[in-house]
Amino acid sequence: MSGHGTKFNRKMEVAVAALLTQKNQEEAARVAGISLATLVRWQRLPEFKKAFREARRAVHGQAIARLQQATSAAVSTLLKVMVDPATPASTRVRAADSVLNHSAKSIELEDIEARVAELESAVAPPMSSGR
């Protein structure tokens, strides 16, 4: 019985991965080699919930990283559409509006970051010298 916990944890990890990759709980349970009832029961356990949440965050983080890698191509596409005389005027206007909006948001974020940094340095205790 001492090995049961380890085997259970490995099965739980497989179930978490299956929940992330399969289209429904039934398929996730099948892929994990457990019954649907077991999967549903595990999903109520705090440690399973935590593992699933962490796994979802990791997957989401990877997706966001891929999006960030594609931003250069997205900007190039947007700018090409904006300046292409063959593109309908309404589409060029939407592209230009998008460029302006994203630029304004970027400036706003930089301003907010600067203000937060100033506030943080104002409330941070001074470093003591002498220890």
State the pLDDT confidence band at 35, using cuts at 50, 70 and 90. Answer: very high
Task: Give me the mean pLDDT over the 65-94 stretch.
Answer: 95
Q: Under 8 Å CB-to-CB from 17, ≥6 apart: which residues?
A: 32, 55
Crossing angle between the packed helical segments 4-21 and 46-69, to the nearest 10 degrees = 40
| The overall pTM is greater than 0.75 | no
Residue 124 is predicted with a pLDDT of 81
State the pLDDT confidence band at 9, using cuts at 50, 70 and 90. Answer: confident
> Does position 81 have pLDDT exceeding 90, yes or no?
yes
State the pLDDT confidence band at 131, using cuts at 50, 70 and 90. Answer: low
Q: If you ran DSSP here, which 8-state letter would residue 35 be given? A: -
> Does position 49 have pLDDT exceeding 90, yes or no?
yes
pLDDT tens across 101-125, in order?
A: 999 999 999 999 999 999 999 998 7
> Does position 6 have pLDDT exceeding 50, yes or no?
no
State the pLDDT confidence band at 128, using cuts at 50, 70 and 90. Answer: low
Residue 92 three-state SS = helix
